[in-house]
Amino acid sequence: VKRLRLAIANKDFTFKAGQWVDFFIPGVSVVGGFSICSSPGLLEREGILELAVKHTVHPPAHWIHTECTLDSEVALRVGGDFFFDPQPGDSPVKLVLIAGGVGINPLFSILLHIVDLHGYQEGKGNGYKMGTVKLYYSAKNTSELLFKKNILGLMNAFPGKIMCHFHVTQQSSQICKELQPHVTEGRISEKDLEKHVSKDTLWYICGPPPMIESISKLLSNIGVPRNCVFFEKWW
């Protein structure tokens, strides 16, 4: 997976945490589609947007891994109705974010946006008041857990406000000490999620379609209303 930092030339360009971009590369006829993994706040403060792109044969991803260099120019268009963008007057909600593999990208953007909301609330005292956030993040093994160090850092910086549980399904090596307390071997289960069911909880899921289908079904079984569940499928 390659992390890409893009300096945005258009000062009017904005996005909401969780959205994706269409990615237009000069000379490549296929348009890419990648979820943004940075926060809207980073774009506002520094004019920077970040993507984390897995290497595949898909021409745009292949170009990012083999031909993209410092100062390459591309065009972007924002899209997607999978986002978390609360306004100052909205009632506080709790969030459960559920990620599979590189499906972490838009959820990491949401997590970073929540950090900005906490900072805004503390600094100004009149921003959106955020409830707790629980992240469940599943991958084959710990080396495939993207942003894990950043996520642990956020948990330490916001104890009791941001919590994370990593799940690994095919771990063969020893799990490092720092991660051990936060890692469970096996898939995310009904038992993990049912304790978070409440009327003011929103659920965001992103990952491969089979995972989204099984988690959506599981949430339905434990009584989560359909209008509280948002998902983004990637292929």
91-138 pLDDT, tens per residue?
999 999 999 999 999 999 999 999 999 876 666 656 788 899 999 999
191-219 pLDDT, tens per residue?
999 999 999 999 999 999 999 999 999 99
Residue among 178, 191, 171, 164 nearest 98 (CA) = 164
Is the pLDDT reported for residue 235 higher than 60? no
Q: What is the mean pLDDT of residues 146-158?
A: 96
Are 197 and 224 in contact by the 8 Å Cβ rule? The answer is yes
Cα–Cα distance measured from residue 222 to residue 235, given in angstroms and rounded to the nearest whole number: 27
- Residue the block writes with tokens 């409830």: 131
- Residue the block writes with tokens 């706040």: 41
Helix, strand or coil, per DSSP, at residue 125: coil
The pTM assigned to this predicted structure is 0.95
Cα–Cα distance measured from residue 121 to residue 117, given in angstroms and rounded to the nearest whole number: 6
Residues in the chain: 235
